[in-house]
A and B are shown apart, each in its own frame.
Chain A
Amino acid sequence: MALGSRFDRLREVFLRSPIAGPLVTLVVVFILLSFVPNFLTLRSLSGIINAATLTGFIAVGVTLLMIAGEFDLSVGSIMAMGGYVFGFHVVAGGSPWVGLLLALLVAGVMGLINGLILVRTGIPSFIITLGTQFMYTGVLWFYSRAQMLQITEDLPEFAILNGRIEWLSSWLPGANVRTAFIWLVLLVIVFQLVLVRTRFGNHVFAAGGNKAAAAAQGVLVNRVKLACFVISGMCAGLAGVMLFAQFKTVRIATGAGQELQAIAAAVVGGTLLSGGSGSIVGALIGVLLISMLRTGVVLTNIISADNFPAVVGVTIVGAAILNDFIRQRR
């Protein structure tokens, strides 16, 4: 009896959680794909994780911002900027750690600009960041002198930021997980805690759920939104740094399309497009799910791998319907 009620309670907590739908989808897709030859190999699985990692960093910030009721379409260009700031600093012989801080600073300022335009004008952030996306790319043309940046040198710091985890590869042959994934998981845990266990997180939900009610209770809605824009920018900048640490190259087109991938991951992960509800852990599930499907498409070869976006499209709509269904039944 006691066990039964404890189970009921657990079930209730699970069903009420925004990640219930995404988690079920992830498991179902995983089980279905496990019948595909070569899917259940360490190589495929670590490939899925690696392909999801960089988008994952962006999705953390974008999801937080979406819960606060705003969008950031400029994250792709901020990611490229982060890569360039970090890269230029390293190429000039500077410390990669200082480069990391500089990249975060510049990316944070770019996020702040988005946020300031929002709170000063009240124009929808979707429109603002649609514009700043191109403006930031424009700035990047000058800053990068329209050149792709590439280095050949391998720095030990790169291995810490986003290198292969060698001991894992030697222990499990074929496994090729990178350190950036560990940083991503830590970042997800930190922001999930911030979201559900702090005052700031409570105010993020309130700002996205009902701005007027939040303001009437003394929540400084504009300040909350500004902070979310800065965090979103910094997460995108961090993604740029991680990209450079892995590939040792960055170009102006780096990050293009990432904004929609991140929004897709957020929605697949149970975050409402209209704000006020969502989960950072859900966003991680979202990027992993999309990446898993991409690998599935490549392995099954039923449709061309180039036609993968069609699969993402089906996933987004399907996940949105499923999440909505679960939300209704709560």
Chain B
Amino acid sequence: MENISRRFGSIVAVEDVTLAIYAGEVTALLGDNGAGKSTLIKILTGVYPPTTGRIYFKGKPVQITSPRMARDLGIETVYQDLALVPLMSVARNFFLGREPVKSIGPFRFLDLKTMQERTAAALRDIGIEKFSGGRSVNEPVGKLSGGERQSVAIGRAVHFGASVLILDEPTSALSVAETEKVLHYTRQAKERGLAVIFISHNMSHVMRVADRYIVMRHGRQVADYRKGELTEQDLADLVTGERER
């Protein structure tokens, strides 16, 4: 992303941000509430167009005009609490928006069997054993714990060949054990060669999973450090503005 700015009326939400996200890395995006993280992500995922600036994807300039287009490019976002539909089954959620169909005469019906089998296989593949029985994929997502939901959403993004995975506050409101799982799947996604953007308020989670730290303050990018260059305290100071850059 090059020289990205976004204004809402007279308010500058993001100002002149240039950053690169690399495959096989977890890039943490940090900043206090209102620092511009969400706006920046929404620009990358086609929710808002940037006021100025350009986005390059795999070296080519792109104009991302809708969430659907972002997804077609392979940019998947896992929003906190908003990733899945609680009342729908795991399998139906997994394939939401790209349901496999089979034709019967002129009509196209959902291929429920394929949906169930592929969901179970994909979740087993990334190590979510709970679904290996092939039964639980029919359970409503609402019955899963917060960590399981995040895991399913991450598994979905990985399965459908995302190249950029954006995790928005994936560990907030999770128990310690649940957080461990989500951090584990985040690393796994990275090892599969995805570029992961990890947005969080939790410095210790960030320290444990990220390879790179980008800090935003008042719409500007104020820091870009690699793992090992900062302590947890340095990071917190950068977020609050205690330390300038």
Residues of A at the B interface (CB closer than 8 Å) are: 16, 193, 197-199, 201-203, 205-206, 209-210, 212-220, 272, 276-277, 330
Contacts of B67 in A (CB 8 A): 215-216, 218
A205 adjacent to B79 (CB under 8 Å): no
Contact B99–A199 (Cβ < 8 Å): yes
In the complex, are the beta carbons of A210 and B109 less than 8 A apart? no
C-beta contact mask, B65-89 vs A, less than 8 Å → 1, else 0?
A: 0011001000001010011111110
- The interface residues of chain A lying within 8 Å CB-to-CB of B112 are 197
Which residue, of A205, A209, A216, A330, has the highest number of chain B Cβ atoms within 10 A? Answer: A216
A310 to B48, CA, bound (A): 51
Contact of A212 among B79, B99, B109 (CB under 8 A): B79
Residue on B nearest A207 in the bound complex, by CB: B85
B110: which A residues are within 8 A, CB to CB?
Answer: 197-199, 201-202
Residue of A nearest to B66 (CB): A218
Main secondary structure on A side of the interface with B: helix
User: How far is the CB of B240 from the nearest CB of chain A, in Å?
Assistant: 30
| 26 examples of A-B residue contacts, CB within 8 angstroms | A193-B109, A198-B109, A199-B99, A199-B110, A203-B96, A203-B97, A205-B87, A205-B92, A206-B88, A209-B87, A210-B84, A210-B86, A213-B79, A213-B83, A213-B84, A213-B96, A214-B96, A216-B67, A217-B97, A217-B98, A218-B67, A218-B68, A219-B97, A272-B87, A276-B87, A276-B88
- Expressed in whole angstroms, the Cα–Cα distance for A206 and B93 within the complex equals 8
A216-B77, A217-B96 given; A206·B85 CB < 8 A: yes
Residues of chain B touching chain A, judged by Cβ–Cβ distance below 8 Å, are: 67-68, 71, 77, 79, 82-88, 92-93, 95-99, 101, 107-110, 112, 138, 140, 143
Q: Which of B71, B84, B138 has the most CB of A within 10 A?
A: B84
A217 to B84, CA, bound (A): 9
**Residues of B close to A276: CB separation below 8 A:** 85-88
- Known contacts A197-B109, A202-B96; A216/B79 CB under 8 A: yes
Q: How far is the CB of A224 from chain B (nearest CB, A)?
A: 11
Bound-state CA distance A197–B68 (Å) is 23
Closest to A209 in B: B85
Question: Which residues of chain A come closer than 8 Å to B109, judged between CB atoms?
Answer: 193, 197-198
Asked if residues A213 and B87 are in contact (CB atoms below 8 Å), the reply is no
Residues on B with C-beta less than 8 A from A213 are 79, 82-85, 93, 96
Most central of B82, B97, B101, B138 by chain A CB within 10 Å: B97
Which of A198, A202, A203, A272 has its CB near the most chain B CB atoms (within 10 A)? A202
* B98 pairs with A218, CB closer than 8 A: yes
Question: Which chain A residues lie closer than 8 Å to B83 at the CB level?
Answer: 213, 216
